[in-house]
A and B are shown apart, each in its own frame.
Chain A
Amino acid sequence: MANIFPKWVNSIPVKVIIALVLIKTAVVVGVTYYFSPEYTRVGYAPTQPVAFSHEFHSGTLEIDCRYCHTFVDRSGHSNVPGTNVCMSCHSMVLKDDDRLAAVRQSYESGEPIPWVRIHKVPDYVYFNHAVHVNRGIGCVECHGQVNEMEVVHHAKQLSMGFCLECHRNPEDYIRPIDEVYNLDWERPSDSQSIEEIEGFVHDWGVNPPQSCSGCHR
């Protein structure tokens, strides 16, 4: 009896397996790489209605974060300042500049400037700014080096894994209270300072929740 299938058919199963493995690998790698907030969120830098430069105000002038984001250490929500805060300087500086027309208009009319929000956690996450900054977690841990950003972009992934990394090892992220708003602060490398900083976790009774209800309600 003649062969029903020609000889090359023998290699089909092997080729199909190789193809499937390759496709599966590509899909898994692709999803891991692209479905993560490190891809979807990090780098988001929308154009704001007013080209406010954090690099200049916070970096060059070294205005404290709380001059504008005043309620960050008193409230769960860190506020975007009202335009009266802008105008406390810009009624004198660049007072006729076109770039600030929207600010003056907002100040006179009381209509808010429609800033584009960059950092968002899901609505079922109840992040409280005050408890973090008042217990030695610096702005930079979640927002990156905003004082070097001409246009603010999303710098950290702000995923649940990102939160838990710090909630599980607060001693690696905690800093002296005086340095919370200093975005350029570097962790000292000598063992004595490290010990002192790690001691804050105990001294301040820092006990970050790892249970669901710590953040989700």
Chain B
Amino acid sequence: MRIFLIVYVLVIVSAVSILGFRGSLTEKEPVEVFNDMDRQAKYKPQAENSFFNNRQNDRLPPALTVSRGSALDTSDVFDDDFIALSSDQVLLLEGKNLDGSFSEQFPYEVNYEFMQYGQKNYNIFCASCHGVAGDGNGVTKPYGILAASYHDDRLRNEPDGYIYDVIANGKGLMYGLKDRLTNEQSWSIVLYLRALQRAQNADQSDLSLKEKSKLGL
């Protein structure tokens, strides 16, 4: 019995010392104890696939194809009155007029909700470099990111389409964001950026009497 107990304790101690405790950090791939059908031979997003040369499961769209969700509605496309590139679509997709100049028009209804949507998107995608107030003082500035301030006369006077184009396609050191933003998101950011420009370029005469007294002016 004594021998059994000694062996018993030794086995437990060695098992625990080999296996360790729960939650300890390890580089070893998790063991799947009962791996019933946990890993199936099927296509999964961003997964590896040995069939292709670069082992990339997701394939790039072939040349001269258009991805779904590109703002062209199928029912419109097959309509008799469909014009391949109407001015509305060029405005929505590229921020331009049909002659290629940047448009002054805004393709969405301007309201407070849409601006708030823009604020949300701005704070995700723009604020880390351009700053929450759009002054170019984002958190990344100390690390060497050079980002424009929106608060100068040039950017105040550029048409909306120009701002949209820069968001989508980038400019100078800034990379375009069109792979990550929908047209709607980009336009909402244009609207919020205009709001920031207005807010940062205001003086006392813009305030109502009530607001002035509230601020003690």
Contacts and interface: CB of A to CB of B under 8 A. Distances in A.
A93 B162 CA distance: 26
A45 B26 contact: yes
B216 to A, nearest CB: 31
A49 B139 CA distance: 26
A88 interface: yes
A143 interface: no
Given A80-B46, A93-B140, A93-B145, A45 B27 contact: yes
Contacts of A154: 30
Contacts of A45: 25-27
B187 to A, nearest CB: 17
A152 to B, nearest CB: 11
A46 B30 CA distance: 10
Given A77-B46, A123-B37, A61 B124 contact: no
Contacts of B44: 123
Interface string A17-59: 0110011001000100111111111111111000000000000
A41 B33 CA distance: 11
A92 B1 contact: no
B interface, how many residues as a size bin?
A: 35 or more
Contacts of B19: 34, 39
Given A91-B175, A93-B143, A46 B29 contact: yes
B167 interface: no
Interface string B97-111: 000000000000000
Contacts of B125: 64, 66-67
Given A42-B23, A44-B29, A89 B12 contact: no
B175 A92 contact: no
Interface string B156-189: 0000000000000000011100011000000000
Given A26-B8, A61-B139, A40 B32 contact: yes
Contact of B54 (A23, A37, A39, A112): A112
Contacts of B145: 89, 92-93
Interface residues of A, number: 50
B179 A82 contact: yes
B28 interface: yes
Interface in A145-190: 153-154
B175 A84 contact: yes
Contacts of A88: 174-175
B27 A87 contact: no
Given A61-B139, A67-B128, A123-B44, A43 B25 contact: yes
A89 B4 CA distance: 64
Contacts of B214: none
A154 to B, nearest CB: 7
A114 B140 CA distance: 27
A178 to B, nearest CB: 9
Interface of A: 15, 18-19, 22-23, 26, 30, 33-47, 61-64, 66-67, 70, 77, 79-80, 82, 84-85, 87-89, 91-93, 110-112, 114, 122-124, 153-154
Given A67-B125, A80-B46, 13 more contacts: A19-B8, A26-B12, A33-B22, A37-B30, A43-B26, A45-B25, A45-B26, A61-B128, A62-B128, A88-B174, A89-B145, A93-B144, A122-B38
10 contacts: A15-B4, A38-B23, A40-B31, A67-B124, A84-B179, A88-B174, A93-B140, A93-B143, A110-B60, A123-B40
